Structure 1
Amino acid sequence: MKIQEIREIIKLVDGSSINEFTYEAEGTKIKLKKNVGVSAESSAAAPVQSAAAAPQAPAAPAAPAAPEAPAKEEKAADQAAETGSSDANTHQILSPMVGTFYQSPSPEEPAYVQVGTKVTADQVVCIVEAMKLFNEIEAEVDGEIAEILVKDGQLVEYGQPLFLVKTN
């Protein structure tokens, strides 16, 4: 299953009233759970934790994750403004899942990309590891890596900006 297909499933589940979704095919299993309630009153109830966030629950509760996402996007937008990039020609590569960010396929190999690297839409720029699965993240656009927004080995959230790409 390609990362684009996983992203599409995440978007569909996120935009629907479904709170839990499981997909199994050809040895691949994807399980998604949402924290979002139907109304403001129900969002105050105990949140449902995703399978990826469950082991980390004591250190990072699932409930604050949703409010932090816009703040991280604003921070990335501020960083883009500081670098002199305009939104018209800058694209953010976002994390499609919660996991650990890795710049290279293994510790002894060089990073997929550096600042200044020219990339194509289907080029792998990093890996996000979630539940012992290593998911290759593609650039999504043609351009040049303007900034790497996270450090190697850092935990990332769903929707967190990973890279800024200056498009042509």
Structure 2
Amino acid sequence: MDIDQIEKLVELMKDSDLSSMEIEEETFRIRLAREKEIIAVHGGGGASAPAPLPSPATSAPAAAGGASAPEPEEKGIVYVKSPMVGTFYRAPSPDSPPFAEEGGKVKADSVVCIIEAMKVMNEIQSEVSGKIVEILVENGEPVEFGQALMKVKEG
């Protein structure tokens, strides 16, 4: 792969709003990644195939298809929500420990889980520092856009 091809991949990432991309061929492997904004609403409110991410928003609609009503407002609680439709994973691989545990502490921008969409593993980060109060989704479970994944008590 030459520098022109790499530059085209970088442009594709920018144009598609991708956060990471990984390509592997017989003689080489390349992984490109950049920071992204994760949706978390205060008070209830790598792979080879690119997948566009939805535009960041300050609030997200309640998930459809079997999801419960919007979460009630709780003082000091932040809901980490899914920024896309996909499959929820608590760890980077089946043999690895989970990114976050109930009762565990997280920092702002800590990776707390992965959402796999179209074979792209998207790292989901906490927007706030605090304590994981509850993990609302089971490992390997499908999630919808805007679905609450975790409750984090700020502090």
C-alpha distance in structure 2 between counterparts of 1:153 and 1:102, whole Å:
6
In the TM superposition, 1:53-64 aligns within 5 A as: none
In the TM superposition, 1:36-51 aligns within 5 A as: none
Higher helix share: 1
C-alpha distance in structure 2 between counterparts of 1:66 and 1:116, whole Å:
25
* Shift in Å, 1:31: 6.9
Deviation per CA, 1:54-113, whole angstroms, max 9, x where unpaired?
A: xxxxxxxxxxx97728x6352x43xxxxxxxx6221000000000000000000011111
Query: 2:102 is matched with which residue: 115, 126, 131?
Result: 115
C-alpha distance in structure 2 between counterparts of 1:90 and 1:66, whole Å:
17
- Alignment partner, residue 22 of structure 1: none
Alignment check: 8 A CA contact 2:136 2:150 kept: yes
* Shift in Å, 1:3: 3.0
Alignment check: 8 A CA contact 2:82 2:145 kept: yes
Identity percentage over the alignment?
Answer: 44
- Alignment partner, residue 76 of structure 2: 89
- 3-state SS in 1 of match to 2:68: helix
Alignment check: 8 A CA contact 2:80 2:151 kept: yes
Alignment check: 8 A CA contact 1:3 1:136 kept: no
Matched, 1:72 2:94: no
Question: What root-mean-square deviation, in Å, do the aligned CA atoms of Structure 1 and Structure 2 show?
Answer: 2.8
C-alpha distance in structure 1 between counterparts of 2:141 and 2:120, whole Å:
16
C-alpha distance in structure 2 between counterparts of 1:153 and 1:139, whole Å:
19
How many aligned positions are there? 107
- Alignment partner, residue 52 of structure 2: 30
Deviation per CA, 1:37-64, whole angstroms, max 9, x where unpaired?
A: xxxxxxxxxxxxxxxxxxxxxxxxxxxx
- Partner AA of 1:116 in structure 2: G
- State the structure with bigger RCO (CA 8 A, min sep 6), 1 or 2: 2
Alignment check: 8 A CA contact 2:51 2:118 kept: no
- Alignment partner, residue 141 of structure 2: 154
Which contiguous aligned blocks of 4+ residues in structure 1 show a shift greater than 4 angstroms?
none
C-alpha distance in structure 1 between counterparts of 2:87 and 2:131, whole Å:
23
Alignment check: 8 A CA contact 1:73 1:160 kept: no
Alignment check: 8 A CA contact 2:62 2:147 kept: no
C-alpha distance in structure 2 between counterparts of 1:137 and 1:147, whole Å:
16
* Shift in Å, 1:30: 2.0
